[in-house]
Structure 1
Amino acid sequence: MCTYRTRLAGATLWLAMLGLARPQSMPADTETPPFTTLYKWKHIDFEFPSERHRSYAIFNGDYVPANVLPLGLEVYGSRIWVTIPSWRRGVPATLATVFRSGGINSPRLRPYPDWSFHRAFTKNNNCSGLTSVFRMNIDNCGRLWVLDSGQIDSQDSPKQVCPPSIVVFDLRTDTPIARYVIPEKYVLQDSLYSNIVIDSRREDCSDLHAYIADTWRFGLLVFRESDESFWRFTHHLFYPDPLASNYTLHGLNFQWTDGIFGLALSPLDNYKERTLYFHAMSSYREFYVDTSILRDSYRVNDSATEFKLLGESRGLFGQSSASAIDDNGVMFYGLVTRDSIGCWDTRKPYQKKHIGIVAKDTTTLIFPNDVKVDREERQSVWVLSNRLPMFQAGPLDPDDYNYRIMYADTVEAVRGTVCEPIVHTYREWHK
């Protein structure tokens, strides 16, 4: 009979064969100019309390390396946050960090804020921790806003074990300071709240609003922190385009009917206002709405004409994932079937002649799933690529680098391209 100790030793040996037992040190590389690859992984590993904990997690199925897919990222100070939704069994932690300094090829992720917040390790079923995080955003006051779907095993046998909620952490102390449960009346059958952006203009963030995309039930939820209230907009522009719901990527063909997903806020314009740009994942087009409309709960039922089409189509294979805008007004976005990062100067008309490509690579940029711009004085655009469609279709190649975090200086990335900014007011192109 195989004893526990024998199985434990076998699990440790298997980890070593996968290259997970000890991270390898190497400098960041520039394999995809203008982007530098800071980190890349064949499989995602974690900083367990001990090697014995890691081996036991593999032994009992709490950690299945092939089932761990990084999805979203955020950057602040010296750290990078990574989300790992609990799509399949074997995801031990759904939110983690790595250092921004690099120096290690495939570092182990450190569960955030610690192991006690993660179900697989604590067996905590009272919804006080984190269940399955998709994306997050950091506000101007150093707080991390985490969007937790509350659903596990989404790829195999979906279970809504906790209500979808927003969990807020103070990054100075790495402690939770609030949890806002999304009201049941805004969680429709099969709702998937998958993206969140934070909008605040005051130094103390007292005017903070969050905009949250319901990708599968085509809604835009608004949260106001001052009175902890929610309201939801619906609009036909939030729906997928049937003509853009067929995807082809590296010989893989699949159909997704994902609605509103990409959300990007402009800098403040001359009127001290912002524009929210948005698009469905299954779409070739971009849309926009003034945030003054979104922040007014009384406009929910009389705002149909305020959501507008932006310029021309991106064209065939123009499906886009996440997007983000830097302080110069340049939008960066993932082109998921083109292995590319696109760009557009928001001061220019949204036309093909003004839409550019920052980088393209058929290896490193396979499915650029998340895009963020950091808050440094000299900003960088950050990209996480993860081969999501291949992950969903079957196991990824354990001998290949499947996941990457990359970055590029936002100014240098668009220098000499059609996306290089020109000086105009933000509203000029609307006229």
Structure 2
Amino acid sequence: MAVFGTRIFLSLEKFDDIPVTLVSLRTSSASSSSPKLTPFPSWAMNKWKDCNKIQAAKGLDVDSVGRLWVLDNGSDSCSSKLWTIDLANNDQTKLIIQFPFQKLKHDLVLDETPNGTFAYISLWGEQHIVVFNLERNQSWTLDTPGIKVFSIALSPIKDQEPRKLYLGVSTTPTNCTSCIKGGNFPGKRQADESTNYALIGSVALFLVLSCIISLWITLRIRKTRNSNEKRNAGAEEMEIPTLPSPVSPELVDEEIENDLYGVVTAPPPRS
């Protein structure tokens, strides 16, 4: 999306039922009804399968002199391009550069410096960005090792501070050299769906295994606890029998003789 004056410019995804990908609408209107999207700059400039027209608009930005920069992804038969539309001069359209490579471009930001105007372009899922210089009409790639770029942005201008370039990371690995077919991106959609299904299946399997292991541990603990309780309840304390006092052999012999001869031993006299 880009804004200039009372006009808003939008880029739309290219599908079979969407005839144009670059539209505009006005923010000021006397009518209370919702504004209608208008093909921009015209229906003719959005003709599909015509390599001299806009095929699939993506990144948009407006520079300080009122030019709308349009990043065009192209199609299966047309290479990607970079257009400018002079909003202050009757929307005159100019082809700036036709890129020599066919890759899925996604976003665009402009950086106007004393050394010239630069356009930074992100490539979907690639580990580099494209840099274009307007004055030299040249483009080159800038590597971003380990970073698969999805979106791109620049920090605001602050006095003498240099601007910073921010890169949005792509979380889904995509082979962007083959994911575009007529602008419908079927390859990317299939890769996204396959990745989501595999992730959901892995999470579900992990949850099921976790529940089974947790249930097994709980049952084992409960079984061990019940066994211990039964063992404690069934245990009986054994009473130790009282043993008789030891008797000396002399007393035993004396009692035996008394029993044999009928002698009764008198108790000892009381003192």
Tell me which of 102, 124, 128 is aligned to 1:215.
124
User: What residue is the counterpart of 2:70 in the other structure?
Assistant: 146
- Higher Rg: 2
User: What residue is the counterpart of 1:98 in the other structure?
Assistant: 25
Bigger mean CA offset, 100-109 vs 213-222: 100-109
Tell me which of 100, 108, 122 is aligned to 2:36.
108
Q: Indicate how the Cα distance of structure 1 residues 192 and 104 shifts in structure 2: closer, same or farther if over 3 A, else same.
A: farther
State whether residues 192 and 217 of structure 1, in contact with CA within 8 Å, keep that contact through their aligned partners in structure 2: no
State whether residues 261 and 278 of structure 1, in contact with CA within 8 Å, keep that contact through their aligned partners in structure 2: yes
Task: Write the mapping of 1:274-423 to structure 2, written as runs, cut at 5 A.
Answer: 274-282=163-171
Q: CA separation in 1, counterparts of 2:26 and 2:159?
A: 37
Q: CA deviation at 1:270?
A: 4.9
Task: Write the mapping of 1:153-168 to structure 2, written as runs, cut at 5 A.
Answer: 160-168=76-84
Does the alignment pair 1:171 with 2:98? no
The structure carrying a bigger strand percent of its residues is: 1
Does the alignment pair 1:196 with 2:123? no
State whether residues 146 and 168 of structure 1, in contact with CA within 8 Å, keep that contact through their aligned partners in structure 2: yes
Q: CA deviation at 1:99?
A: 0.4
Q: CA deviation at 1:178?
A: 3.0
State whether residues 146 and 167 of structure 1, in contact with CA within 8 Å, keep that contact through their aligned partners in structure 2: yes
Q: CA separation in 1, counterparts of 2:55 and 2:34?
A: 25
Q: Give the number of the structure with larger relative contact order, counting CA–CA contacts within 8 Å between residues 6 or more apart.
A: 1
Deviation digits for residues 21-44 of structure 1 (CA, Å, limit 9, x no counterpart)? xxxxxxxxxxxxxxxxxxxxxxxx
The structure carrying a bigger helix percent of its residues is: 2
Q: CA deviation at 1:207?
A: 1.0
Any idea what SS the aligned residue of 2:8 has? strand
Tell me which of 149, 153, 157 is aligned to 1:264.
153
Q: CA deviation at 1:134?
A: 1.4
Q: CA separation in 2, counterparts of 1:76 and 1:281?
A: 29
Q: CA separation in 2, counterparts of 1:273 and 1:183?
A: 31
Deviation digits for residues 351-377 of structure 1 (CA, Å, limit 9, x no counterpart)? xxxxxxxxxxxxxxxxxxxxxxxxxxx
Q: CA separation in 2, counterparts of 1:104 and 1:282?
A: 42
Does the alignment pair 1:234 with 2:143? yes
RMSD, matched Cα:
2.4
Q: CA deviation at 1:271?
A: 3.7
How high is the TM-score relative to the length of structure 1? Answer: 0.37
State whether residues 133 and 146 of structure 1, in contact with CA within 8 Å, keep that contact through their aligned partners in structure 2: yes
Q: CA deviation at 1:131?
A: 0.4
Q: CA separation in 2, counterparts of 1:237 and 1:140?
A: 34
Any idea what SS the aligned residue of 1:117 has? helix
Deviation digits for residues 18-72 of structure 1 (CA, Å, limit 9, x no counterpart)? xxxxxxxxxxxxxxxxxxxxxxxxxxxxxxxxxxxxxxxxxxxxxxxxxxxxxxx
State whether residues 106 and 151 of structure 2, in contact with CA within 8 Å, keep that contact through their aligned partners in structure 1: no
Task: Write the mapping of 1:22-61 to structure 2, written as runs, cut at 5 A.
Answer: none
User: What residue is the counterpart of 1:135 in the other structure?
Assistant: 59
Q: CA separation in 1, counterparts of 2:74 and 2:32?
A: 32
Deviation digits for residues 133-166 of structure 1 (CA, Å, limit 9, x no counterpart)? 1121111111011011012xxxxxxxx1210111
Does the alignment pair 1:79 with 2:7? yes
Q: Indicate how the Cα distance of structure 1 residues 237 and 141 shifts in structure 2: closer, same or farther if over 3 A, else same.
A: farther
Tell me which of 97, 101, 109 is aligned to 1:180.
97
Does the alignment pair 1:273 with 2:162? yes
Deviation digits for residues 78-105 of structure 1 (CA, Å, limit 9, x no counterpart)? 100011121x212111111000126555
Any idea what SS the aligned residue of 2:70 has? strand
Q: CA deviation at 1:269?
A: 4.1
Q: CA separation in 2, counterparts of 1:107 and 1:270?
A: 38
Q: CA separation in 1, counterparts of 2:32 and 2:47?
A: 28
Percent of aligned pairs with the same amino acid: 27
Q: CA separation in 1, counterparts of 2:134 and 2:142?
A: 17
